Amino acid sequence: MPVFMTALVLQYLFAFKFKWFPVSGFDSFRAMILPAIVLGWNSAGSIARMTRSNLVEIMQNDFIRTARAKGLLESGVIVKHALKNAMLPVVTMMALQVSSMLSGAVLTESVFGVPGIGRLAVNAIETRDMPLLQGTVIFTTILIIAGNLVADLLYNVLDPRIREGA
């Protein structure tokens, strides 16, 4: 489902019908819950599916059988051994999805009336404000580069075999 449709459906259900959240605005923490759900909604399914498939594959390896043979609890085997190894491709995919989340932010900000970098870029395009548009593009580029940097740093935490000199 497209981002704007998810935003409209959640806004109608949870803000208009149930009145659990405000319809729009940026005045409280509760006002940011629905936009955050909408932004993460599209990515959540693919991340969960990839995590599960990687975890199922890792659970068949010899080192998992060895950890079980040592007498570790099943939750410890999954969290400390299997999940750590299964998360490497997932972290890569999450870093790549940062750019799609930023593009979805433009629509989400418009639907929920949240002032953000996406609406600022759209307003800069409408008013032909080139310095402001350049600034938003540079800022978005820096966010994407920072996301990739965080992913690279997480590789070192998740897999100690990946080091600077290796």
Residue 164 lies in a domain: no
**Residue with the two structure tokens 């938003």:** 136
Q: Is the dihedral of CA 125, 136, 148, 48 positive or negative?
A: negative
Contact in structure between 110 and 122 (CB atoms under 8 Å):
yes
Give the chain's domain count.
Answer: 1
Residue 111 lies in a domain: yes
Residue 166 lies in a domain: no
Task: Provide the residue range defining the domain that includes 61.
Answer: 3-158
Assigned token pair, 38: 């909408």
Identify the pLDDT of residue 164: 61
Residue 43 lies in a domain: yes
Residue 86 to residues 44, 74, 90, 92, 163, Cα–Cα distance (Å): 16, 16, 7, 11, 18
**Residue with the two structure tokens 């740093």:** 153
Instruction: Give me the tens of pLDDT residue by residue for the chain, a chain 166 residues long.
Output: 888 899 999 999 999 999 999 988 888 899 899 999 998 888 888 999 999 999 999 999 999 999 999 988 999 899 888 998 888 889 988 888 887 788 778 888 888 888 888 889 989 999 999 999 999 999 989 988 988 898 888 888 887 777 665 5
Residue 15 lies in a domain: yes
